[in-house]
Amino acid sequence: MTPDILCIGSVLWDIIGRSNAHMGKGSDVPGRITRIPGGVALNIAMAAKAYGMTPALLSVVGRDAEGDELIAAVERLGLLTHTLYRSEDLPTDVYMAVEGGNGLIAAIADAHSLEAAGDKVLRPLEDLDFTGPIVVDGNLTQDLLAGIASDPEFDGTDLRIAPASPGKAERLLPFLTHGSATLYVNLEEAGLLLHGPQPDAPTAAVALRARGLYRALVTDGPNLAACAHPGGVVSSQPRNVMVTRVTGAGDTFMAAHIAAEAQGADHDTALARALEAAATYVSGDTY
Ligand SMILES: Nc1ncnc2c1ncn2[C@@H]1O[C@H](COP(=O)(O)OP(=O)(O)OP(=O)(O)O)[C@@H](O)[C@H]1O
Ligand SMILES: O=c1[nH]cc([C@@H]2O[C@H](CO)[C@@H](O)[C@H]2O)c(=O)[nH]1
């Protein structure tokens, strides 16, 4: 099968411990522990698949049991895995989070194999001759991200950039001067990139463009979301919904936005469809 979107970045197992109890430092409570496919690139790929796209993954997965199981799980979801680098010596990456009744308590992302693999994960690009959207996540090393941003091979490429966590947001700074990159950030991440808190999404999106970014999509939970592009800025208010989950809302928004544009939607329509998808997601319906 031929992909119509490439997702480059972390592809790993999420180990999530959940309890309804209010938790804090040192808590030891009964709950549930699950293992599900995760990592920013994979999360966006799964969401893009749900919106009708055919994603291929570019990342590293170990030749360990965890890696074999992850590949099998991802293939069952219909994602293309032949573009993954299978490493003999690097273990499959893993992310671990603890969630209490009072939200995320703490998380650790062990994406060391992705960092160690470096530009090996980009090798399939040479043979693909791909012209569609390419998602790049902020789990890649600062060096590799800066290399992609300045490589003439990526001039004119429809890059879609996703931060991995607030702690890794600054790694994305090189894309501010790329000629065709679209950055998807929430208001907090926009503030980190702009080195100052932002009052609202339209202001942040316009400020990112003023810093040189080609296009900025900024979300702000239940508040106004915005897209600043070379022709101006559009913004829209998410509809009021009963919120049952928020983790993953940003990935859903991004995937639905890319899928809408792949179908020819203009700036306004793509933003509206992304917000509608996010509303459905946070209200608890699957995609
Ligand atoms: N409380 C909410 N009420 C209504 N819509 C929401 C709410 N939270 C998130 N959304 C929807 O999801 C979109 C993305 O949310 P947000 O800005 O929180 O992204 P994010 O911080 O990247 O999400 P994530 O939790 O996945 O990291 C919003 O633009 C909005 O459409
Ligand atoms: O540094 C990172 N933090 C979190 C993630 C992923 O994001 C999701 C949680 O927000 C989760 O799937 C995790 O694997 C990542 O890939 N890198």
Q: Which residue, 185, 177, 133, 139, is CA-closest to 159?
A: 133
61 lines ligand 1 (CB under 6 A): no
* Ligand closest in space to the Cα of 249: 1
DSSP 240: P
17-30 pLDDT, tens per residue?
999 999 999 999 99
**Of 104, 81, 95, which is closest to residue 24 (Cα–Cα)?**
104
CATH superfamily of 5-10+39-65+78-91+113-282: Ribokinase (3.40.1190.20)
Q: Is 141 touching ligand 2 by the criterion CB < 6 Å?
A: no
> Which residue has better confidence, 285 or 134?
134
pLDDT of residue 286: 65
> At residue 59, does pLDDT exceed 80?
yes
Ligand nearest to the CA of 245: 1
Check residue 101 and give its pLDDT.
92
Q: How far apart are CA 88 and CA 11, in angstroms?
A: 16
For residues 207 and 41, what is the distance between their CA atoms, to the nearest angstrom?
A: 26
Nearest CA among 84, 149, 147, 87 for reference residue 112: 87
Average pLDDT over residues 46-71: 98
**pLDDT score of 245:** 78
Residue with the larger pLDDT of the pair 97 and 244? 97
* Mean pLDDT confidence for 29-33: 97
> What pLDDT does residue 246 have?
76
ipTM: 0.98
Query: Facing residues of 215 across strands?
Result: 182
Q: How many whole angstroms from its chain centre is CA 165?
A: 9
Question: Which of 36-40, 190-194, 246-250 shows the lowest per-residue confidence on average (mean pLDDT)?
Answer: 246-250
Q: Where are the domains of the chain?
A: 5-10+39-65+78-91+113-282
* Percent of the chain's residues with pLDDT above 70: 99
Residue nearest atom 14 of ligand 2, based on CA coordinates: 39
92 lines ligand 1 (CB under 6 A): no
Minimum CA distance residue for ligand 2 atom 16: 39
In the predicted structure, residue 68 carries a pLDDT above the cut 80 = yes
Q: pLDDT (tens digit, 9 = 90+) per residue, 87-140? A: 999 999 999 999 999 999 999 999 999 999 999 999 999 999 899 999 999 999
Confidence (pLDDT) at 287: 62
Residue at 150: amino acid letter: S
Q: Ligand 2 within 6 A of 37 CB?
A: no
89 token code pair: 């010596």
C-beta separation of 30 from 113 below 8 A: no
| Number of Cα atoms under 13 Å in the Cβ half of residue 273 | 18
pLDDT at 1 over 90: no
What are the pLDDT digits (tens) for 5-14? 999 999 999 9
Mean pLDDT of the chain: 96
User: pLDDT (tens digit, 9 = 90+) per residue, 179-225?
Assistant: 999 999 999 999 999 999 999 999 999 999 999 999 999 999 999 99
Q: Are 53 and 4 a contacting pair, CB within 8 Å?
A: yes
Q: Any residues with CB less than 8 A from the CB of 80 and at least 6 apart, and which?
A: 1, 3, 54, 55, 56, 57
- Residue whose C-alpha is closest to residue 257's, from 226, 284, 232, 233: 226
Ligand 2 in contact with 40 (CB < 6 A)? yes
CA of 247 to the centre of ligand 2 (A): 10
Per-residue pLDDT band for 64 (boundaries 50, 70, 90) equals very high
For residues 24-39, average pLDDT: 97
Considering every ligand atom shown, identify the ligand nearest to the alpha carbon of residue 279 and give its number. 1
**C-beta of 182 in contact with ligand 2 (< 6 A):** no
What is the atom index within ligand 1 of the atom nearest the CA of 184? Answer: 22
